[in-house]
A and B are shown apart, each in its own frame.
Chain A
Amino acid sequence: MASNEFNPEDLLFAETHEWVRLSEEDGAKVATVGISAFAVEQLTDLVFMELPAVGTQVEAQQEFGEVESVKAVSPLYSPVAGEVIAVNDKVPDELELLGQAPFGAGWLVKIKVSDDAGLANLLDYASYQKQCAEDG
């Protein structure tokens, strides 16, 4: 794993395989969101990704983009509610970043959290891994 990646132990995970890193920026709660290594491995053969524009309002557990593989298209669900304040535009052009550094350079969006409600549904890494073992 690349050293500039987050430690997955420090992340929260949605059942739909997005991860969240919570931090404080200028007094606001900010969620950095990506998709897990397990999700990338399961999808394989990625060909396309669509991400929202900066300024988009997203709702918890609502679609904010999509990722497409040779086999299928999968929606990306926002783990939190808030406003998109940054988008990693490199990823749609270099989808291999998702495989190389899913918890680092492959981050997708930063969201200024407006409502903590969605956070209660997220799993810690151990619980998430357990879910993946059952799915895989």
Chain B
Amino acid sequence: MTDSLLNTPLHSWHVEQGGRMVDFAGWSMPVQYSSIVSEHRATRGGIGLFDISHMGRLEFAGPDAGPFLDRLLTRRVVGLQEGMVRYSLVVNEAGGILDDVLVYRVGESAGRPTFLLVVNASNRAKIVAWIERHRRADDDVQVEDRTAATAMIAVQGPQAVELMASLVEPPVSSMKYYSAAVATIGGASGLVSRTGYTGEDGGELIVPADTARQIWERLVDEGAARGLQPAGLGARDTLRLEAGMPLYGHELSEEIDPYQAGLGFAVQTKDRQFIGRDALAAMCDAQDRPRRVGLEIEGRRVAREGYEVLASGVTVGKVTSGTFSPTLERPIAMAYVRSDVAEIGTELTVAVRGQAVPARVVTLPFYQRPK
């Protein structure tokens, strides 16, 4: 059954350490090692260490790399300074979201401007095909899928930056949020960025696949005194939910546009052309369409994906992600609801397995780390 699944370079470590392995987007990934709540709390209070090697890593090199990416992404890429990272979207001609991505301006590689695009594991094949479809014969850009050759490790939490200090040069502490640098990581050549998907400070490391285990084990050993725990996809999901971050396949899909999703900040239509630009420019806001909201749910039962949201007994939307928040110790959810009931403070109900449970629209994120 697991024969056809892809393994990350850290797969054997996860299995040896009792990680509960599940199929995620065709990869065998740990959903948890000990408990989701314990791994979640370690990340909020100390450090959570995540294998995110399943994320797609696509490298673009050449004089046209920037202009080409500029045609694919909702946010300006040309003009991105070396070492900068940006959250952006890939949309289709109608403005529907194909993926949400991070684009890195890495620098020059053999005199060729180089960019990195980190895409969702579940969308990698689709995005690779999209890139090939929209590449013109005269574009001087080389695209290489670096996913298999590298590993990606997220080090997240209030102690994460200090832990990385002994292992990563340049030090992450000298870097701004959403910046990246070519780095020496545990003696290997890699890429470090001050980014993450947990709502905590920290970084993400991209290292050669054959060095991943040694670097991972060093982080585990040296992090133990700082409360580090390896953390699986279960905690990654509860952490991103508390942080109000959307997840493709749940809050984002080709049927959803950036404005409904509350991602208007990642769209720049002025003075530029990209696929889907005209459709997005015509939409401008989300008044006539369901909108993504955060819900705080009463009681202890979790409002899960697919559950209906109602206002005065009438269905007004659906839950897209829900969990029990380990930090707030109550159920939280994200949902798409009719725009007239999307205002903060609106009282709604969620149909939780036949019971109408009171819920309130609240500001996202649910959790913000103390500054």
Contact = CB atoms under 8 A, between A and B. Distances in A.
A70 B37 contact: yes
B238 interface: yes
Given A70-B238, A70-B323, A71-B234, A48 B300 contact: yes
Nearest to B325: A70
Given A70-B238, A70-B324, A70-B326, A44 B36 contact: yes
Given A70-B234, A70-B323, A71-B234, A48 B301 contact: yes
Interface residues of B, number: 17
Given A47-B300, A47-B302, A73 B35 contact: no
Interface string B299-310: 111101000000
A68 interface: yes
Nearest to B35: A44
Contacts of B299: 48
A83 to B, nearest CB: 23
Interface in B305-326: 323-324, 326
B32 interface: yes
Interface in B1-48: 31-32, 35-37
B32 A73 contact: no
Nearest to B238: A70
Nearest to B34: A44
A45 B302 contact: no
B353 interface: yes
B304 A73 contact: yes
Contacts, number: 37
Contacts of B234: 70-71
A73 B324 CA distance: 12
A70 B35 CA distance: 10
Contacts of B301: 48, 68, 73
Interface string B162-187: 00000000000000000000000000
A68 B304 CA distance: 11
Interface in A78-102: none
Contact of A44 (B32, B304, B331): B32
Contact of B36 (A48, A68, A71, A73): A71
Interface in A50-75: 66, 68, 70-71, 73
A71 B321 CA distance: 11
Interface in A12-69: 44-45, 47-48, 66, 68
Contacts of B32: 44
Nearest to B32: A44
Given A47-B324, A73-B353, A68 B302 contact: yes
Contacts of A68: 300-302, 324
A70 to B, nearest CB: 5
Contacts of A44: 32, 35-37
Interface of B: 31-32, 35-37, 234, 238, 299-302, 304, 323-324, 326, 331, 353
20 contacts: A44-B32, A44-B37, A45-B35, A45-B36, A45-B37, A45-B324, A47-B300, A47-B302, A47-B324, A47-B331, A48-B299, A48-B301, A48-B324, A66-B353, A68-B300, A70-B238, A70-B323, A71-B31, A71-B36, A73-B301
Interface of A: 44-45, 47-48, 66, 68, 70-71, 73
